[in-house]
């Protein structure tokens, strides 16, 4: 693709690294990062802070001919320090060899690639005056703050302009952009000694989230719903703990895909993953209901978009599960072969100062023959969901069904297959839905996906988050149909309390 | 560091009083700079230094600049080693990002904060190229845990050498050196523990860490059934307790959230020194102890380290306040806790021994790990969590490992008369035992 990137200017440094590693007889992966970002925070109508930051640096991972590896990184991208950096990384690699540590020669089996991914953003970083950004955010915040005197509202906006360049000893030299943005509203409702916090968000890749009327409107509808939820939760009771038939929204479905499945499908953990056996991925096994597929891959314009891996390999869109059968893993350079799956370019890294790990990008659950829904997701109330389920014959009248809304993050132990995620609120569905306090949703990887009964509405894949693994956080996103219906299963439980 | 700091000081000083093209006039500044060398190495799945845990050395200069303009306007920007090379570009950006803040002002007057030893020469040598010690720690730990039949070991060592400078236009100039050290082990996906201080662990501390880990893993291997549900006592060992303290107490004690009505606590609660916890419960910040992980000379704003009670004998004492929120709430700025919940010291007189507590319990759980703490609403005080690594206690004895979903109110638990704080091995903070629901 044509166009100029800031990382194009580091040719001399790349050449110096190439010379230094060739002289030392080393293989290498060089990662150059150039990031700038702006963050604006508005709290209860006033600007709390505007902060700008930059990150320019490079990290070099060297490999001895026997595959022992060491890594050195710096905030200087200069040809003059290339020799010193290579020498340091080499010294560390030799220490691993001396201690008879792990070696991996996968780096020497790759073919060179020269990928270039430049996105044409509608409203890129810097295209809107900061005063205008501030003004628009204050408007968003003020309008929400005035909804109710019991509410306080904090608005956080972040826009990131990030570029990467990855080079290897085989001649690979790939460059790409990973732009992202979000607006995040946090609502705190306080009354008579009770405090409840909820949130709403709108992710994107540029400043469109502040400018495009349809996006501004979408955030407003989501935010009003989150604000009302916080207020209503002040008087909500805890739900009785146990197993239920449940509807989850697409953001929670993203949590289900991400926590209950995605992490277990990452090949760098296959030796102990519930989806592995003797280190190999259990390909061909039935792991979900026949109607369920799980897909992970980069989507242009998405918050977690990354077209090329941190090891310089093109990121593939992967059908991890197709029609209920485990088909592929999220495989990075160093673990694909051992896991017995094709390399899919899943290596991601937080900054150039870290080592890449196998990670998800945008993960979504797709269900065959979803129930059609005409309305926008943001317009659908719990009562509308109830009617839709009834009319579709998916539930009986007066059947006990819970609706979980608002993803609050999750966690998994890929070795045991236990996962949890949390919601903002729980409704007992009916002609009039009854609200309960949020409670933890917990289950087992291998039983959860078998319990998906139906998808409701079209696919929606913009549920955003930050995924933490081995002390690194990277943007993540995903989704599903507007809603998923999950059958009652004793292995899937809602926390809550013993009695309502 | 010194040259970069001095040149930046001179450059900023030269701008004071000048009307810049944006129409802004610089009235003051502060900045901090850190030059950091960080060495990391780890073991993943028993293998030392593979592609995911390769030994790595990071060199970085990072910091933050805060500019005070005329008419109550302020700018905040991250800075790095290129701050002077790219000064004109940065200045232009800082002018553009200046924002109005009636409470933004405030610079610390020059003073000499306590000189606390925080850099260990042995650790400095490691980041300068003498790499043996971290490799030896990993090897030794792996060997000891293997003696406890651990089949899968993950671990890591992180050692930093951080040279810091905090300065402002009033003449503040504080330099410091620190060597934060973290050593982490996990066995058989059952249990993990860590050492963290601003020095290397002593042999005794390291042995104690591994012995405790090995013993706990052995207990967690013995599964038992847990079929009943209801209210019982749950025990949080100190590091789990600290994670809860961080999530529920530290967040709610933050001055910014209190000022903006986004905390469980209200400003009036602090002004009236309201008693919300048991009278034997005190929570303190102490940043003055040599080589402790939560010690430092001054905050990024230049506020001195010190010792202060956030909760004293059950009564709210002060929120955690930086300069802005101290000014906004008309209170004094406080030291800032470092290291999350582990930066809060829980002081309870007459601690019981944990084994005595266990013997007294008819039914309870020792919760060694929870999934999903970060997903909980800190402002409500309530939790609903999967406790995936628990030891069941029945009639005063540990029966074996179980899993449970636990639910309760942590902040209420801290005030409950039947909650118990217990001494736990070499840990500074106690274990905490409170009533909760489990199934």
In a domain, A238, yes or no: no
Same domain, B209 and B340: no
Same domain, B332 and B408: no
Chain A environment of B372 (Cβ under 8 Å): 409-411, 420-422, 440, 442
Same domain, B376 and B312: no
Same domain, A89 and A141: yes
- CA–CA separation, A361 and A464 (whole Å): 10
Same domain, A251 and A302: yes
> Are B189 and A272 an interchain contact pair (Cβ–Cβ within 8 Å)?
yes
Beta strands in A343-470 (DSSP E): 347-348, 357-358, 362-367, 401-413, 418-428, 434-436, 441-444, 452-469
Same domain, A416 and A338: yes
Closest CA relative to residue B385, chosen from A420, A432, A322:
A420
Same domain, A65 and A140: yes
Q: What percent of chain A has pLDDT over 70?
A: 99
Chain B environment of A49 (Cβ under 8 Å): 76, 99, 101
Which pLDDT score is estimated for A418?
86
Chain A environment of B253 (Cβ under 8 Å): none
Give the residue on B whose Cα is nearest the Cα of A128: B96
Q: Of the candidates A201, A233, A265, which is a domain's last residue?
A: A233
pLDDT band at B316 (very low <50, low <70, confident <90, very high): very high
Chain A environment of B231 (Cβ under 8 Å): 498
In a domain, B270, yes or no: yes
* Alpha carbon of B255: minimum distance to chain A alpha carbons (Å): 13
Total domains in the fold of chain A: 2
* CA dihedral for B246, B250, B252, B258, sign (positive or negative): negative
- C-alpha A101, offset from chain centre: 32
Closest CA relative to residue A133, chosen from A203, A42, A71, A57:
A42
> Are A92 and B56 an interchain contact pair (Cβ–Cβ within 8 Å)?
yes
> Are B437 and A190 an interchain contact pair (Cβ–Cβ within 8 Å)?
no
* Alpha carbon of B67: minimum distance to chain A alpha carbons (Å): 11
Same domain, A186 and A206: yes
* Alpha carbon of B90: minimum distance to chain A alpha carbons (Å): 10
Same domain, A169 and A264: no
Query: How many CA within 13 A on the CB side of residue B258?
Result: 27
Total domains in the fold of chain B: 3
> Are B377 and A470 an interchain contact pair (Cβ–Cβ within 8 Å)?
no
B133, B259, B384, B407: best to mutate for the A interface, most A CBs within 10 A: B384
- CA–CA separation, B41 and B390 (whole Å): 30
pLDDT digits (tens, 9 = 90+) for A241-254: 999 999 999 999 99
Q: What is the 3-state secondary structure (H, E, C) of A200-220?
A: EEEEECCCHHHHCHHHHHHHH
Average pLDDT score, chain A: 95
In a domain, B141, yes or no: yes
Q: Count of residues for chain B?
A: 439
* Residue A119, domain CATH: 3.30.2290.10
Q: How many CB pairs under 8 A join A and B?
A: 236
Residue B254 has pLDDT above 90, yes or no: yes
pLDDT digits (tens, 9 = 90+) for B321-349: 999 999 999 999 999 999 899 999 999 99
> Are B262 and A188 an interchain contact pair (Cβ–Cβ within 8 Å)?
yes
Closest CA relative to residue A412, chosen from B221, B372, B385:
B372
Same domain, B331 and B360: no
Same domain, B318 and B433: no
Q: Name which of B53, B262, B371 is nearest A154 (Cβ-Cβ).
A: B262
Q: Name which of A56, A413, A495 is nearest B405 (Cβ-Cβ).
A: A495
Cβ–Cβ < 8 Å for A27, A55: no
Same domain, B268 and B313: yes
- CA–CA separation, A45 and A155 (whole Å): 9
In the three-class reduction of DSSP (H, G, I as helix; E, B as strand; rest coil), residue B222 is classed as coil
In a domain, B389, yes or no: yes
What domain range is A211 assigned to?
6-233
Q: What backbone phi and psi angles, to 5 degrees, belong to B141?
A: -60, -40
> Are A71 and B371 an interchain contact pair (Cβ–Cβ within 8 Å)?
no
The DSSP bridge partners found for residue A50 are A40
Chain A environment of B66 (Cβ under 8 Å): none
Which pLDDT score is estimated for B2?
80
Which pLDDT score is estimated for B226?
86
In a domain, A153, yes or no: yes
Neighbours of A490 (CB within 10 A): 8
Chain A environment of B256 (Cβ under 8 Å): 43, 48
What domain range is B176 assigned to?
121-221
Chain A environment of B52 (Cβ under 8 Å): 268, 334, 355, 357, 470
In a domain, B100, yes or no: no
Same domain, B235 and B269: no
* Alpha carbon of B369: minimum distance to chain A alpha carbons (Å): 11
Residue A59 has pLDDT above 90, yes or no: yes
A130-145 and A213-233 are packed helices; what angle lies between their axes, rounded to 10 degrees? 40
Give the residue on B whose Cα is nearest the Cα of A135: B99
Same domain, A13 and A127: yes
Q: Of the candidates A233, A255, A280, which is a domain's last residue?
A: A233
In a domain, B308, yes or no: yes
Which pLDDT score is estimated for A1?
58
- CA–CA separation, A220 and B169 (whole Å): 43
Distances (CA, A) of A456 to A253, A387, A479: 12, 12, 12
pLDDT digits (tens, 9 = 90+) for A291-328: 999 999 999 999 999 999 999 999 999 999 999 999 99
In a domain, B172, yes or no: yes
Chain B environment of A44 (Cβ under 8 Å): 260-261
In a domain, B105, yes or no: no
Which pLDDT score is estimated for B29?
98
- CA–CA separation, A143 and A354 (whole Å): 41
Kind plus residue range of the DSSP H or E element containing A353: none
Which pLDDT score is estimated for B150?
96
> Are A53 and B77 an interchain contact pair (Cβ–Cβ within 8 Å)?
yes
Same domain, A128 and A10: yes
Q: Of the candidates A184, A200, A233, which is a domain's last residue?
A: A233
Give the residue on B whose Cα is nearest the Cα of A234: B380
Cβ–Cβ < 8 Å for A328, A318: yes
> Are B78 and A416 an interchain contact pair (Cβ–Cβ within 8 Å)?
no
Q: Name which of A47, A75, A498 is nearest B439 (Cβ-Cβ).
A: A498
Same domain, B236 and B359: yes
In a domain, B235, yes or no: yes
Which pLDDT score is estimated for A149?
97
Q: Of the candidates B281, B312, B346, which is a domain's last residue?
A: B346
Q: Label residue B49 left, alpha or beta by phi (over 0 means left) and psi (-120 to 50 means alpha).
A: left
Which pLDDT score is estimated for A445?
79
Q: Name which of A47, A130, A241 is nearest B100 (Cβ-Cβ).
A: A47
Same domain, A164 and A277: no
> Are B384 and A190 an interchain contact pair (Cβ–Cβ within 8 Å)?
no
* Stretch B397-406: mean pLDDT: 95
Closest CA relative to residue A64, chosen from B139, B138, B136, B51:
B51
Q: What is the 3-state secondary structure (H, E, C) of A104-168?
A: CCHHHHCCCCCCEECCCCCCCCCCCCHHHHHHHHHHHHHHHHCCCCCEEEEEEEEEEEEEEEEEE
Residue A148 has pLDDT above 70, yes or no: yes
Q: Which of A138-142, A255-259, B151-155 has the lowest mean pLDDT?
A: A255-259
Which pLDDT score is estimated for B1?
66
- CA–CA separation, B429 and B366 (whole Å): 16
In a domain, A499, yes or no: no
> Are B49 and A470 an interchain contact pair (Cβ–Cβ within 8 Å)?
no
The DSSP bridge partners found for residue B343 are none
Same domain, B238 and B272: no
Same domain, B217 and B146: yes
Average pLDDT score, chain B: 95
Same domain, A18 and A111: yes
3-state helix, strand, coil in chain A (%, to 5): 25, 40, 35
Residue A480 has pLDDT above 90, yes or no: yes
Q: Of the candidates B346, B362, B396, which is a domain's last residue?
A: B346
Chain A environment of B96 (Cβ under 8 Å): 129-130
Position of tokens 């990662």?
A: A31
Residue A3 has pLDDT above 90, yes or no: no
Which pLDDT score is estimated for A476?
97
pLDDT digits (tens, 9 = 90+) for A350-397: 999 999 999 999 999 999 999 999 999 999 999 999 999 999 999 999
Same domain, A179 and A286: no
Which pLDDT score is estimated for A144?
98
Same domain, A11 and A105: yes
> Are A418 and B403 an interchain contact pair (Cβ–Cβ within 8 Å)?
yes
A29, A36, A50: best to mutate for the B interface, most B CBs within 10 A: A50
> Are B58 and A72 an interchain contact pair (Cβ–Cβ within 8 Å)?
yes
In a domain, A239, yes or no: no
Same domain, B336 and B369: no
Cβ–Cβ < 8 Å for A411, B385: no
Q: Name which of A54, A411, A493 is nearest B405 (Cβ-Cβ).
A: A493
In a domain, A351, yes or no: yes
Same domain, B132 and B212: yes
Q: Of the candidates B346, B361, B396, which is a domain's last residue?
A: B346
Which pLDDT score is estimated for A400?
96
Residue A341 has pLDDT above 70, yes or no: yes
Who contacts A457 (Cβ-Cβ below 8 Å, separation ≥6)?
Answer: A370, A371, A372, A373, A377, A380, A481, A482, A483
pLDDT band at A444 (very low <50, low <70, confident <90, very high): confident
Chain B environment of A254 (Cβ under 8 Å): none
In a domain, A26, yes or no: yes
Beta strands in A170-256 (DSSP E): 173-177, 180-191, 194-204, 245-249
CA B123-B129-B131 angle, 5° bins: 70
Which pLDDT score is estimated for B190?
95
Neighbours of A290 (CB within 10 A): 11
A188, A260, A493: best to mutate for the B interface, most B CBs within 10 A: A188
């Amino acid at each position: 693709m044509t166009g100029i990137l800031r990382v194009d200017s580091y040719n001399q440094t790349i050449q110096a690294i190439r010379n230094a590693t060739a002289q030392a007889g080393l293989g290498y992966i060089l990662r150059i990062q150039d990031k700038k970002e702006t963050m604006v925070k508005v709290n209860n109508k006033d600007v709390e802070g505007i902060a700008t930051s930059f990150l320019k640096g490079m990290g070099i991972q060297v490999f001895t001919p026997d595959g022992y590896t060491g890594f050195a990184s710096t905030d200087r991208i200069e040809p003059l320090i290339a020799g010193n950096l290579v020498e340091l990384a080499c010294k560390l690699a030799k220490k691993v060899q001396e201690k008879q540590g792990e070696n991996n020669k996968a780096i020497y089996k790759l073919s060179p690639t020269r990928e270039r991914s430049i996105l044409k953003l509608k409203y890129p970083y810097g295209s809107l005056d900061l005063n205008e950004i501030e003004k628009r955010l204050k408007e968003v915040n003020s309008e929400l703050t005035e909804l109710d005197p019991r509410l306080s509202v904090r608005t956080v906006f972040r826009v990131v302009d990030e570029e990467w360049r990855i080079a290897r000893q085989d001649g690979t030299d790939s460059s790409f952009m990973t732009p992202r943005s979000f607006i995040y509203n946090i609502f705190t409702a306080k009354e008579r000694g009770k405090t409840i916090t909820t949130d709403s968000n709108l992710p994107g890749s540029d400043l469109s989230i502040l400018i495009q009327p349809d996006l501004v409107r979408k955030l407003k509808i989501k935010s009003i719903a989150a604000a009302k939820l916080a207020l209503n939760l002040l008087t909500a009771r805890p739900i009785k703990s146990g197993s239920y038939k449940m509807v989850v929204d697409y953001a929670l479905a993203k949590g289900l895909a991400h926590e209950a499945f995605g992490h277990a499908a990452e090949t760098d953990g296959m030796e102990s993953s519930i989806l592995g056996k003797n280190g190999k991925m259990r390909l061909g096994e039935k792991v979900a209901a026949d109607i369920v597929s799980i897909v992970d891959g980069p989507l242009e314009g998405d918050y977690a978009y990354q077209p090329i891996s941190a090891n310089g390999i093109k990121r593939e869109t992967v059908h991890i599960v197709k029609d209920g059968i485990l088909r592929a893993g999220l495989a990075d350079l160093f673990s694909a072969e051992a896991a017995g799956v094709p390399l899919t370019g899943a290596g991601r890294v937080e900054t150039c100062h870290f080592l890449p790990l196998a990670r998800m990008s945008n993960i979504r659950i797709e269900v065959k023959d979803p129930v059609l829904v005409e309305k926008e997701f943001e317009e659908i109330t719990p009562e509308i969901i109830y009617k839709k389920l009834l009319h579709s014959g998916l539930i009986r009248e007066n059947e006990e069904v819970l609706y979980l809304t608002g993803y609050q993050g999750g966690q998994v132990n890929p070795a045991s297959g236990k996962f949890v995620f949390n919601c903002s609120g729980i409704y007992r569905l009916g002609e009039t839905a009854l609200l309960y306090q949020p409670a933890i949703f917990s289950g087992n990887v291998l039983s959860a996906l078998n319990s998906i009964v139906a998808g409701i509405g079209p696919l929606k894949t913009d549920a955003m988050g930050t995924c933490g693994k081995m002390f690194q956080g990277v943007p993540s996103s995903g989704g599903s149909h507007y809603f998923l219906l999950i059958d009652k299963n004793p292995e899937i439980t809602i926390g809550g309390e013993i009695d309502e | 560091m010194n040259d970069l700091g001095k040149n930046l000081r001179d450059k900023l000083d030269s701008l004071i009083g000048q009307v810049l093209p944006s129409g802004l006039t610089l009235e003051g500044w502060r900045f901090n700079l850190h030059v950091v060398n960080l060495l990391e190495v780890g073991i993943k799945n028993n293998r030392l230094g593979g592609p995911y845990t390769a030994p790595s050395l990071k060199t970085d200069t990072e910091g933050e600049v805060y500019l005070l303009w005329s008419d109550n306007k302020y700018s905040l920007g991250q800075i790095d080693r290129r701050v002077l090379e790219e000064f004109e570009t940065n200045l232009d950006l800082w002018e553009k990002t200046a924002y109005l803040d009636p409470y933004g002002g405030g610079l610390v007057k020059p003073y000499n904060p306590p000189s606390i030893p925080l850099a260990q020469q042995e650790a400095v040598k490691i980041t300068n190229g003498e790499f043996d010690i971290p490799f030896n720690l990993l090897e030794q730990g792996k060997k000891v845990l293997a003696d406890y039949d651990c089949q899968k070991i993950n671990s890591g060592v992180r050692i930093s050498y951080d040279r810091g400078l905090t300065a402002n236009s009033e003449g503040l100039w504080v330099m410091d050196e620190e060597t934060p050290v973290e050593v982490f082990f996990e066995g058989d996906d059952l249990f993990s523990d860590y050492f963290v201080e601003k020095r290397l662990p002593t042999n005794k501390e390291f042995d104690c860490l591994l012995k405790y880990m090995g013993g706990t893993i052995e207990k967690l291997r013995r599964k038992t059934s847990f079929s009943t549900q209801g209210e019982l006592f749950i025990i949080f060992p100190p590091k789990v307790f600290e994670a809860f303290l961080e999530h529920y107490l530290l967040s709610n004690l933050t001055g910014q959230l209190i000022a903006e009505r986004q905390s469980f606590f209200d400003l009036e609660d602090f002004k009236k020194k309201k008693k919300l916890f048991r009278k034997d419960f005190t929570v303190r910040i102490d940043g003055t102890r040599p080589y402790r992980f939560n010690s430092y000379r001054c905050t990024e704003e230049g506020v001195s380290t010190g010792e202060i009670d956030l909760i004293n004998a059950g009564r709210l004492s002060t929120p955690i306040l930086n300069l802005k929120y101290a000014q906004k709430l008309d209170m004094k700025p406080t030291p800032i806790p470092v290291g999350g919940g582990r930066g809060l010291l829980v002081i309870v007189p007459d601690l019981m021994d944990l084994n005595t507590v266990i013997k007294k319990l008819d039914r309870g759980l020792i919760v060694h790990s929870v999934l999903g703490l970060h997903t909980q609403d800190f402002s409500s005080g309530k939790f609903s969590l999967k406790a995936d690594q628990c030891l069941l206690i029945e009639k005063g004895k540990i029966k074996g490992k179980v899993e449970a979903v636990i639910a309760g109110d942590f902040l209420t638990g801290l005030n409950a008369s039947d909650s118990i704080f217990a001494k736990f091995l070499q840990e500074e903070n106690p274990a905490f035992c409170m009533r909760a629901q489990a199934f």
